[in-house]
Copies of this chain bind each other. A is one copy, B any other.
C-alpha cells in the first residue's frame, strides 16, 4: 500500500481545513464573540502541521482503488476529529462525543443534532456547523482536486471514492477541470439561493447559514423550529433549491454548455422529478384535512418531500403526526435519496433505476430464454461492473443497516425510533420518526449508540465502500511490512 501518498493527501486536507476555519473566525470577530479565537488557534495549528507534512512529497504516486478508499475514509474521520474541537474547547458543546456527533453530522450533511437548544450557540459556531454542510456536500477531496495539482494519473480513484452514485464520469477530460467546474456551479447556485433568500427579507446571517445548509443538503437549522418560522415565500425558495441541489450536477453542466439533447436523455433526473411530484401529490391528498388552506397543504407536503428525498432534513411541520401513509412515503423517500452526482445522500435514484431494470431483464429472460438484453440508461449500455457494484451496494447497505439496528436495539427504545435513526443517519437525512422525529433530537442515545450512528453517517456519505474497506481486516494484512509494491 502506498502509505506516503495517503499521508500526503491527509496533510493537504488538514491544511485546507485550517484555511476554512478562518471563515468562522471572521464571523466571530464580526459579532465580537470570544469563541472565535479557538478557530484561529486551530486554524494556525492545522495549517502549520499540514504544510510541514506536505513538504515530504511521496516518491511513488501510484494509487489504486484501495488507497483511494483509505485516504478518503481517513480524511473524513480526520476532518471530523479536528472540526469538533472548537465546540469542545469553547465549552459550547462540552461533551467530546456530542461535539464529534454534531461535526460528523455536519460534514456528512446529515443534519442530525444532539442540541436541545440550538439558539444558545454563538454565531461563529452556528456558521461553522452550516459551513461543514457546504464543504461535505460536494466533498473535501473534490475540493482538493480542484485547487491542488496532484501528480500521478490515478487521482480518479479519490474522486470515485467521494463522489456519489453508481458510476463516476469526468465532465471534461482533465480531472482538475472537472472538479473546478463542479465547484463553480456549486458556488454559483449557492449565491443564487442567497440572493433569493435576501430578496424575501430573511436576515443576512440566517440567509447565509440556510443557503449553506441547503446547498450541502445538510439540514442544520439555526432556529429550534428549523424553517417553520419563516414566511411562505422563503419556504418555497428553500423547497425549490433543495430540489435543485438534489439534481445531478452534470445536468447543470449540460445546461451551461447548451447540450440540450444529452440533457433530455438524463433518465435519472426525469424519474427524480416524477417521484417528487407523485409523493407530493399523494401526501397533499393524504393530509388534506390537517391544513388550513390548499396552499399551506401543498407547501407542507412539497417542503417535506423535497427535504427528505434530497436528504436535507429541514422541517416546517412535525410529520411525525401525519397519517401512516404519509409517514411511510417519507420513510421510503429516505432510502430513495436524490440523484447521483448531487450533494444529496440516500441510495440514489439511478441505483433504483438500475435495480428495477435488472429485475425486468430477468423477467424477460424467463419469457424469452434465448434473448440476452443489455441494460441501458441515458441511451447508453450500463457496464456489467456497474450493475454488479449496485447489487453489492444493496447487500452492503442491508448488512450495515442490520448491524446498526442490532447495536441500537440494546437501548430498549422502540423499533420505529431505532429503524428510522439508522435510516436517517445512513442516508444522511437527519430527522426520523417517533423519538427522533423532526421536533426531537438524538441526545437521549448512549455514547455507544452515538458512535454507531456516526459510523453510519460517514458510511452513508461515502457510499459504504471506503469505510468498509477501512475496517475490513485483510486490507491491513502485512501493512507494517516494508514492501516495494
A interface residues (Cβ-Cβ under 8 A, vs B): 64-66, 69, 323-325, 327-329, 331-332, 355-356, 358-359, 362-364, 366-367, 369, 388-389, 391-392, 394-396, 398-399, 402, 405-406, 409-416, 418, 433, 465, 468-469, 472, 474-475
Contact = CB atoms under 8 A, between A and B. Distances in A.
A358 B69 CA distance: 19
Given A359-B399, A362-B392, A418 B332 contact: no
A323 B474 CA distance: 36
Contacts of A410: 324-325
A305 to B, nearest CB: 15
B324 A418 contact: yes
A396 B65 contact: no
Contacts of A363: 468-469, 472, 474
Copy number in this complex?
2
Contacts of A362: 388-389, 392, 396
Most buried by B among A69, A367, A389, A475: A367
Closest 8 CB pairs of A and B: A328-B409, A362-B392, A391-B391, A325-B409, A324-B409, A355-B395, A359-B395, A324-B412
A413 B358 contact: no
Nearest to A477: B367
Majority-rule SS of A interface residues: helix
Given A64-B369, A391-B394, 11 more contacts: A65-B366, A69-B366, A324-B413, A325-B410, A331-B415, A358-B391, A359-B396, A363-B474, A367-B469, A367-B472, A415-B433
Nearest to A433: B415
Contacts of A413: 324
12 contacts: A65-B366, A65-B369, A66-B366, A324-B410, A327-B409, A328-B418, A331-B415, A356-B395, A359-B399, A362-B396, A363-B474, A416-B416
Contacts of A433: 415
B392 A358 contact: yes
Given A359-B392, A410-B325, A474 B367 contact: yes
Contact of A465 (B64, B366, B414): B366
A117 to B, nearest CB: 29
A278 to B, nearest CB: 12
A469 B366 contact: yes
B389 A66 contact: no
A63 to B, nearest CB: 12
Contacts of A402: 332
B412 A415 contact: no
Given A328-B406, A363-B472, A367-B469, A323 B412 contact: yes
Contact of A367 (B66, B328, B329, B366): B66
A358 B393 CA distance: 10
Contacts of A329: 406
A234 to B, nearest CB: 32
A324 B418 CA distance: 10
Contacts of A364: 474
A364 B64 CA distance: 13
Contacts of A332: 402, 406
A411 B69 contact: no
Most buried by B among A331, A364, A392, A416: A392
A254 to B, nearest CB: 30
